[in-house]
């Protein structure tokens, strides 16, 4: 059975996040202090506490899950679901804080939550996807 196109897109998103995190880590190693430690803290996952090592190691983890999804590995499907659920839980405070003013941030964080929920639900509950991963 061929890999569904949707899995390829989701794996590409994982590779994109991994590339972003690794790039942030490399920039911080090469030129410390050039990037704000708190700006974009939602995607850097602890960089403000552990520096570039956290960004690079977590980026490598995202790349590993993306590689597993691309190869239709069932462990990667469940890791992706867990990462999406953790991302939703981590985004709730940002949405709550942005809800006071109803600025673009509220809609941006809300859209991120919706995308994560859709990806998690699709990976966990789609019969055709479960079959594709089971046949591998």
Q: d(Cα 72, Cα 133) in Å, to the nearest integer? A: 5
The pLDDT tens digits for 73-103 are 999 999 999 999 998 998 888 788 877 877 8
Tell me: the pLDDT tens digits for 99-120? 787 788 888 888 999 999 999 9
Of the pLDDT bands very low, low, confident and very high (cuts 50, 70, 90), residue 29 is: confident
> CA dist 135 to 34, 77, 81, 90, 131, Å?
47, 13, 19, 33, 6
What pLDDT was estimated at residue 32? 81
């Amino acid at each position: 059975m061929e890999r569904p196109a949707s899995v390829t897109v989701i794996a590409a998103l994982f590779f994109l996040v991994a590339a972003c995190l690794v790039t942030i880590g490399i920039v911080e190693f090469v030129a410390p202090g050039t990037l704000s430690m708190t700006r974009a803290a939602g995607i850097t996952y602890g960089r403000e506490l552990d520096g570039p090592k956290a960004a690079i190691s977590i980026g490598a983890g995202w790349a590993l899950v993306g590689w597993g999804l691309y190869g239709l590995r069932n462990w990667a499907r469940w890791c992706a679901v867990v990462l999406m659920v953790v991302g939703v839980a981590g985004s709730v405070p940002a949405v709550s804080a942005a809800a006071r003013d109803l600025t673009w941030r509220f809609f941006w964080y809300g859209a991120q939550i919706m995308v994560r929920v859709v990806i998690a639900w699709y990976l966990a509950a789609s019969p055709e996807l479960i079959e594709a991963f089971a046949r591998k």
